[in-house]
Every structure is written in C-alpha cells, then in structure tokens.
C-alpha cells in the first residue's frame, strides 16, 4: 500500500537556481565572494549549458519530484555577462532571455521563452519560472523612471510574452521599484489580465537576519505598514532570504509577523512561501522555494558543516510529496495560534562562514515563538532542558502535520535536536497525519476511540507503507508514538549518505 498520491501537488513549489549558482561557481584564489561581489560571481554562473547540459541542473536534479516543481531561473538569466547592479542597474528588468547565455534559443523574446519552457517540460519539470527585477530595463534609482502608463505598458508586453510562452511563475525580487506596493499591485493585475494563470510572487526585500542593522523589525510600525501593503497585493508572498546558520529562528520570527498581518488584512487569498525551510513549509501549510542542490559540497569559500543542506535532499522529496496530500493553504484561513514563550538561538560567526560580512566576528541572536500552529490548538511541548521549535497545522482538507525543528547555539558544532515530548490534539482519525523531525515521543489525542483500527506509516520519501499497529501504545483515546519508531520509519527510505531528518505520513485503516 502506498499512502502518497501519484498526481503532482497543486502547491506552487519550486526549485531555484540561486544557491547553486553561488556554490558551483569557479572562483579565483583571493577573489571577494561576499555581498554584492559574490552575487556578481553567482550571476555569471547561469547559462544554457549549465542548465541543460549532461549533466545539467534541469536534466539531473530532483527526478523524483521534478513534475511537482517549477524550475526558477534566478538572477542572471536576462542580463549580459558581467552585469553589476551597483554599476549598471539599468541593465536589469528586460525579461528577455539572454542570447549570450542561451544561444541555443532563437527567435522573438516570446519564442525564446517558449523554447526554454518547452525544454524544461520535456525534462519533466512543471515548467519554467522567472526571477523578475522590480523595474524596467533602463531605470536606475529614480533618475530615469518610466511614467505610470509607460511602466504598465512595458510589463503588459512582457506578461504577454510569458503567456505565449506558457511561463506560469514570476519571482519578483529587488529593483528600483521593489518597495513600491503600487508597482507590485500593477504587476499582479497585469498578470491576471494579460497572462491568466501566471503566478506572481512578491517579497519585502530585507537583510538576512532580523533586528540586525534595520532595527527591531518585529515591532517596528514602518515594517508592519510595509508588510501589510505588500500582503494586500500579493497572491504569493515570500518571507525572503535568511542565513542558513539560524534559519529556523529567523524564518519563524518572520512568519509570526507575516501570518499575523495577513490575518489582520483578511485577504487576499495569499499563499506564503518560506523558501528552503522545508519542514516548516510542510508542517505549517506553506509553499516552499527549494534552494539546496545535490551536487555535493562545492562551497570552496564558505563553511557549511553546521548546516550541510547539500546532503539533505530527501527533506525536499518528503516535503513536496506531503504537499500532494496536504497542499499549502491561504494565509488568513488558518486560525493562527502563536505561543507567548520565545526561544533564542545564537551563533558566533567566524570569517567566511557566511557571505554577509556584517556579522563576521560577532555573536548574533535570533528569537522566535517556541510554538506556532494554524487551524488547531498549540501543541504541548515538554522537555527537561532546552526545547525544539515546534510548528503544526490542520489543513482545510483535514490533514494534520507537525514538525520539531533544530536549534543553533554558539559552542555547538552542529544544529541541535533537543528531545521533547509532544502532545497534539488530533481531532478525529479520518485524515492523514504528517510528522517531521525528531522527538522523544508524540502523543496524539483523538476525539473518538481508534484502537480497533490498523495504523499504517510510510516514509514520505518511499513508496510503501508498513503496519505498525502492534508497536504503539494506547491510553484511552491517546496514541503514544515513540520517537525511536518515528525516526526508524521516517528514514526507512532514506537515500544512502543523505543526512535529512525523518518525515512520514500515518493513517488509520
């Protein structure tokens, strides 16, 4: 018995080229690989041969879930080699596939995009998605801006190209107009009118850690006002880049603000993308933008031992396949609950541990709610010492998910998984339950007796369920699952050498 549907997910998940552009670039000895200088190196590491060669990113990555994912070409696809926004920002925003980088595609702009999209479809992906600079080509820092009717006409034309090409995803990022809610609203409306079905993802561009250099953004009214304005015009909203070292705390803190503000706005029907925080996305009903790559450790200038995502590819498979069971759901449809308790992660950054030089030789902290849930009561978390972050949700289709997340603490060599006993109100027993990460035990409290039913579990990376009825404990309507059993089943289909955390689905039958 296979508990995972064969049909691809309806969630607009994607794999994005940006991290792979960075970490597979050939770098000269002594080259500056930080900040904007590093971004320029990454930008030049994107072309047709890299994407479609043998091996290539589009031909070799994520074959098990490729049809569930858009393939997002990130920053660099539509500019010439050597383009540097610090020196020539006006080069960005053309939305025309670079002939230098993709010489194998010819014809009009729409024809070149159509050939690109067709090639990705032929390789099994859901289709092409495009990184979009928030401006028109020729615009630079307010000095050469098009008039309102001119910028609208400019993007109507490009939306038409994408419609003709079958492009269905725009990842709108930085640019001269990045902070303009009016511009982003225009893009959303233009896509709906000129390219029905084209998904437009927006973001509020910011530094990669919360409360660093831009104030206490969690309570700053300026941030809240900007966030709310963006959410009001965003069919999809990305929580934006975080540093891997304390990514769980940084992302959860952002999500607590984003989800609160979306509840306050009351719409539109906005999906939230939590980027590469995959088990957060799985357990909270969010879309994901996968950034990790399976090429092995190719980071010649950055240390990745603390968070070796290049060896945690199975987590992407488990997350996306869970989305086949429980798709991401709109942000103001979740009966949000956020704990008063907050946990603080910290890290003392050594030089070259991150591209962001501002934190080198500094101990930084990130604080976030200990528990967040959508659509159900906050899980109870009991531990003898430090606790994990815990997130959970009840999907509108009834499926339940919970994730126990690692912590980052100065002095530790790796991210730490603190054991805890988790108790979750699961309601009835009619729907699948997804469990991600590690715990000492998970107790599910049901509203009805279910001990007469058989209980099946399956690693979300695998294709066969196992009957574990005789290996669990019942006390009344409470089912206690030992953490050892969850880890065993949740890793039973693991790829050899993969370091991913467990992820499984369980059902009663």
Q: For the segment 160-219, what is each residue's pLDDT rounded down to a tens digit? A: 999 999 999 999 999 999 999 999 999 999 999 999 999 999 999 988 888 865 444 545
143, HSE (Cβ side, Cα atoms, 13 Å): 6
Does pLDDT of 300 surpass 60? no
Does pLDDT of 301 surpass 60? no
pLDDT of residue 429: 86
Q: How confident is the model at residue 352 (pLDDT cuts 50, 70, 90)?
A: confident
Give the SS3 label for residue 98: coil
Q: How confident is the model at residue 226 (pLDDT cuts 50, 70, 90)?
A: confident
DSSP letter (8 states) at residue 492: T
Question: Distances from the Cα of 237 to the Cαs of 37, 226, 233, 289, in angstroms?
Answer: 27, 13, 9, 11
To 10 degrees, what angle do helices 247-265 and 221-231 make? 70
Going from N- to C-terminal start, the domains of the chain cover 14-333, 337-508
Query: Where are the alpha helices (H) located in 146-295, listed in sequence order?
Result: 148-165, 181-194, 221-231, 247-265, 278-284
- Least trusted range by pLDDT, from 71-80, 255-264, 273-282: 255-264
pLDDT of residue 304: 53
Mean pLDDT for the chain overall: 92
Q: What are 386-425's pLDDT values in tens digits?
A: 999 999 999 999 999 999 999 999 888 789 999 999 999 9
CA distance 340 to 307: 28
506, HSE (Cβ side, Cα atoms, 13 Å): 26
CA distance 177 to 169: 19
CA distance 430 to 338: 26
More confident residue, 140 or 113: 113
Provide the residue count of the chain. 509
Residue 454 has which token pair? 């058989």
Q: Average pLDDT, stretch 438-454?
A: 89
Residue 185 has which token pair? 């609203």
20, HSE (Cβ side, Cα atoms, 13 Å): 24
Does pLDDT of 317 surpass 50? yes
CA distance 465 to 480: 19
User: What pTM, to 2 d.p., does this model score?
Assistant: 0.96
Instruction: Kindly tell me the burial class for residue 357, based on how many C-beta atoms sit within 10 Å of its own C-beta (0-12, 13-18, 19 or more).
Output: middle
Does pLDDT of 127 surpass 90? yes
CATH architecture of 14-333: Alpha-Beta Barrel (3.20)
More confident residue, 387 or 300: 387
DSSP letter (8 states) at residue 8: P
pLDDT of residue 223: 76
Single out the residue of 101, 57, 87, 85 nearest to residue 205, CA to CA.
85
Single out the residue of 63, 65, 60 nearest to residue 9, CA to CA.
65
Partners of 473 in the β-ladder: 480
Question: Distances from the Cα of 409 to the Cαs of 97, 412, 413, 417, in angstroms?
Answer: 43, 6, 9, 11
Residue 489 has which token pair? 């089943």
Residue 412 has which token pair? 């530790």
Q: What are 451-498's pLDDT values in tens digits?
A: 678 999 999 999 999 999 999 988 888 999 999 999 999 999 999 999
Query: In the block, which residue shows the tokens 């980088």?
Result: 101
Report percent pLDDT > 70 for the chain: 95
Q: Average pLDDT, stretch 125-139?
A: 97
Give the SS3 label for residue 420: coil
Question: Distances from the Cα of 417 to the Cαs of 255, 376, 383, 385, in angstroms?
Answer: 21, 24, 12, 12
Single out the residue of 352, 458, 389 nearest to residue 27, CA to CA.
352
Report percent pLDDT > 90 for the chain: 76
Q: What are 9-37's pLDDT values in tens digits?
A: 999 999 999 999 988 888 877 788 888 88
């Amino acid at each position: 018995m296979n508990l995972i549907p064969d049909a691809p997910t309806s969630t607009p998940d994607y794999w994005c080229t940006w991290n792979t552009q960075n970490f597979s670039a050939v770098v000269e000895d002594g080259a500056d690989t930080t900040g904007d200088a590093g971004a320029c190196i990454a930008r030049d590491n994107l072309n047709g041969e890299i994407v479609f060669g043998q091996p290539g990113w589009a031909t070799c990555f994520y074959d098990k879930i490729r049809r569930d994912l858009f393939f997002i070409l990130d920053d660099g696809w539509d500019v010439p080699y050597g383009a540097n926004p610090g020196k020539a920002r006006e080069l960005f925003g053309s939305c025309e596939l670079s002939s230098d980088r993709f010489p194998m595609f010819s014809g009009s702009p729409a024809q070149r995009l159509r050939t690109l999209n067709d090639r990705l479809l032929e390789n099994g992906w859901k289709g092409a998605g495009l990184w979009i600079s928030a401006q028109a080509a020729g615009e630079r820092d307010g000095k050469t801006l098009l008039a309102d009717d001119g910028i609208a006409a400019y993007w109507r034309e490009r939306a038409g190209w994408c419609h003709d090409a079958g492009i269905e995803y725009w990842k709108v990022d930085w640019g001269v107009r990045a902070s303009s809610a009016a511009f982003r609203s225009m893009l959303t409306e233009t896509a709906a009118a000129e390219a029905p079905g084209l998904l437009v993802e927006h973001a509020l561009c910011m530094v990669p850690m919360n409360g660093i250099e831009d104030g206490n953004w969690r309570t700053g009214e300026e941030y809240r006002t900007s966030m709310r304005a963006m959410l009001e015009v965003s069919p999809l909203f990305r929580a934006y880049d975080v540093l891997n070292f304390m990514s769980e705390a940084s992302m959860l803190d952002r999500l607590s603000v984003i989800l609160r503000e979306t509840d306050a706005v009351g719409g539109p029907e906005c999906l939230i993308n939590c980027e590469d925080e995959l088990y957060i996305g799985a357990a909270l009903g969010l879309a994901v933008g996968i950034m990790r790559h399976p090429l092995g450790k190719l980071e010649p200038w950055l240390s990745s031992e603390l968070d070796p995502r290049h060896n945690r590819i199975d987590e992407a498979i488990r997350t996306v396949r869970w989305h086949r069971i429980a798709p991401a759901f709109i942000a103001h449809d979740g009966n949000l609950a956020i704990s008063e308790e907050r946990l603080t992660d910290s890290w003392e950054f050594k030089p070259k541990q991150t591209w962001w030089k501002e934190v080198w030789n500094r101990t930084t902290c990130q604080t976030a709610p200990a528990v967040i849930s959508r659509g159900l009561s906050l899980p109870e978390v009991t531990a003898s010492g430090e606790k994990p972050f815990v997130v959970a949700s009840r999907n509108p289709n009834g499926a339940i998910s919970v994730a126990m997340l690692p912590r980052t603490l100065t002095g530790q060599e790796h991210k730490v998984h603190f054991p805890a006993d988790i108790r979750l109100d699961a309601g009835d027993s009619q729907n699948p339950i997804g469990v991600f990460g590690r715990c000492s035990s998970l107790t599910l409290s049901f509203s009805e007796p279910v001990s007469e039913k058989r209980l099946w579990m399956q690693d979300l990376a695998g294709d066969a369920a196992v009957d574990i009825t005789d290996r669990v404990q019942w006390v009344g309507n409470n089912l206690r699952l030992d953490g050892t059993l969850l880890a065993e089943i949740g890793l039973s289909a693991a790829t050899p050498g993969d370091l991913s955390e467990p992820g499984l689905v369980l059902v009663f039958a």
